[in-house]
Amino acid sequence: MKSFQQARWEEPLLWELSLEGRSGCLPPVDERVIREVGSVEELVPDKIRRKSSLDLPELTENMVVRHFVRLSQMTFCVDTGMYPLGSCTMKYTPKAAEAAAALPGFRDIHPLQHEDTVQGALRLMYELQQILAGIAGLPGVSLQPPAGAAGEFAGCLIIRKYFEERGEVDRRTEMLIPDSAHGTNPASAAMAGFEVVVIPSGSDGLIDLEALKATVSERTAGIMLTNPNTLGLFEKNILDITRIVHEVGGLVYYDGANLNAIMGWARPGDMGVDIMHFNLHKTFGAPHGGGGPGSGPIAVSKELEEYLPVPVVAYDEERDRYYLDYNRPKSIGKVHGFFGNFPVLVKAYVYIRLMGRGGLKRAAAHAVLASNYLARRTEVLRGLKLSHAPHLLRKHEFVLTATELKAQRGVTAGDIAKRILDFGLHAPTMYFPLIVKEALMVEPTETEPLETLDSYAEVLSQIVNEAWSSPEQVKRAPYATTVRRVDEVRAARPKTRALTWRDLKRLKEKEGSI
């Protein structure tokens, strides 16, 4: 096994590097203009002029660049190594997409500049709307939601609007959500005013049809489901599920976080889904930006199209001109100040065009293949097992449970995750979904070659062996990372909490160094 040591710079905070009088960038002020209009003191009334000092750090360009380069070196990323964070689809992202988004013609245009001067950007958006509609099997698309959760919120508002139009909004108060769902689902439903009703999973990890039948009623606004679900299992009864919900007049929302598993093989629209969101930063090869920007476009059925957020990009065939269509009186309004995260749209567009329809389908198949391969290689490790219906085929991800290791050796899923970091690999998502104890949720993605999957399995095997023979070795991990295990309790405790440099300075004065 290769040894690994992450960079450890002990890099000070910006203020600790600062020296008065420095600046990395001093833009010029045109003296000719100042002579005509007067100085800041003359232009800004005293009453509103800033009185307090502005304690920003003072550094040279070289110092700033070096600081952030060092910080970057202490950050694990997809371009460093395998990052199988379940439900996050950390696949390799093509560099052509980055280059395209950085073209000045895309990067430096203003959303409110005249439509005639942004025809290329609008065309790209229009084409992407068409493509996503095709992948969803649903005709109406809005690219506006800036993240998956924003797509969910927009979708829930559309469901709300749909019932408002039908005069049923006061009655349709319940949103059904399986207990395996992502946390954003119940949070988004609640933000849109729905009461969350949890649907339990059966022992096979799938939605319990009997429980669903017993729960739906005339109060049901809809169901939000992820398929494949967060256990990596495809809801094979999907047609029954959508029928049951439709029969009581509810709508079906599909969380596209796991679309990478079925893209090109099945379309949500063909399963009876009424509305869905995509995560372009997961499925369509746009990078995750350390937590964002993402992009969460939504697709809806014909019946719901008129409720989409404004504007939608439209094409006037007669004049061969793309335009922003605001004339949609039944729209839910806006969920983002402008048109969403356009640079992410560019990246997803590039990814899709490079892959083509055949490539997308192959990508999904290889994601599922990699997941099943790694699942079979790791479920046999002593003390780990595949959660829920181990005989079933997984889709793009699988969930291991470490309950036995915890019971026998006191080694938790979190300990295993930390130990993985010592091998230059990222940990799986841990402690999720909530219905699995000691969960490790693994999503290898299609872009990891077989050799990498094998070495991940070997690393897990070694860690499991350690857990049995010398559990302390695992419980004290990691060792090779920038810092050792981080004290999260201290960070949260009111007395030691520091959320800014100001807080930290105050703490330092009180109790010495940190």
Partner 1 sequence: MLRFLGLEKLDDLFEDIPEEVRQRCCLDQVPEAVPEVVLWRYLNKLAAQNRAEPYRRFVGGGLYAHYVPAAVDFIAARTEFVTSYTPYQAEVSQGLLQALFEYQSLIAELFDMEVVNASLYDGATAVGEAIRMALRVSKRKKVIVPKLMPPHRRRVLQAYTTALDCKIVEIGYDNRGLLDLAELEQEVDDATAAVYVENPTCLGAFEEQIFEISDIAHKKDALLIAYVDPISLAIVEPPGAYDADIAVGEGQPLGLHLGFGGALLGIFACKRKYLMKMPGRLIGATVDVEGRRAFCMTLQTREQHIRRERATSNICTNESLSAITAAAYLALLGPQGLRRVCEAVLANTAYLARRLNTLPGVTAPAFEGVCYFREIPARFDGWLAREIREMCIKRGIDPGLDLGTWFEGFERILLACTTEVHQKEDLDRLVSVLAELVR
Q: Where are any strands of DSSP class E within 156-272?
A: 174-178, 195-199, 220-226, 251-256
User: Counting contacts by CB under 8 A, is residue 100 touching partner 1?
Assistant: yes
Which residue matches tokens 């600062």? Answer: 18
Member of 153, 162, 163, 254 binding partner 1 (CB under 8 A): 153
Nearer to partner 1, 212 or 262 (CB): 262
Half-sphere exposure of 316 (CA within 13 A, CB side): 10
Rounded CA-CA distance 377/442 in Å is: 12
Note whether 329 binds partner 1 by CB under 8 A: no
Is residue 440 within a helix (H) or strand (E), and if so which, with residue range?
strand 439-442
CB of 401 to partner 1, least distance (A): 19
165 binds partner 1 (CB under 8 A): no
Question: Tokens 């709300």 sit at which residue?
Answer: 160
**Of 299-307, 312-320, 334-342, 401-409: span binding partner 1 (CB under 8 A):** 334-342
Q: Structure tokens of 254? A: 């599909």
Residue 205 gets the label, from left (phi > 0), alpha (psi -120 to 50) or beta, of left
Window contacting partner 1 (CB under 8 A); options: 313-321, 329-337, 380-388, 437-445: 329-337
> Please, which residue, 250 or 287, has the CB nearer to partner 1?
287
Q: Does 474 bind partner 1 (CB under 8 A)?
A: no
Residues near 482 by beta carbon (within 8 Å), at least 6 away in sequence? 6, 7, 8, 9, 74
The one-letter amino acid code at 47 reads K
Question: How many whole angstroms separate alpha carbon 240 and alpha carbon 256?
Answer: 19
String of contacts with partner 1 for each residue 373-412, x by CB under 8 A:
x--x---------------xx-x-----------------
* Interface with partner 1 (CB under 8 A), residue from 213, 357, 437, 506: 357
Ranges within 249-278 binding partner 1 (CB under 8 A): 262, 264-267, 270-271
CA 344 to chain centre: 12
68 binds partner 1, rule: CB under 8 A: yes
Q: Is 401 helix (H, G, I), strand (E, B) or coil?
A: strand
Rounded Cα distance, 66 and 70, in Å? 6
Evaluate whether 346 touches 106 at the Cβ level (below 8 Å): yes
Q: By CB under 8 A, what part of segment 192-211 binds partner 1?
A: 192-194, 196
Instruction: For partner 1, give the closer residue by CB, 250 or 269.
Output: 269
Q: Of 15-44, which residues contact partner 1 (CB under 8 A)? A: 15, 18, 21-30, 32-34, 36-40, 43-44
Least distance to partner 1 from the beta carbon of 238, Å? 7
Closest CB 406 distance from partner 1, rounded Å: 19
Among 200, 202, 333, 410, binds partner 1 (CB under 8 A): 333
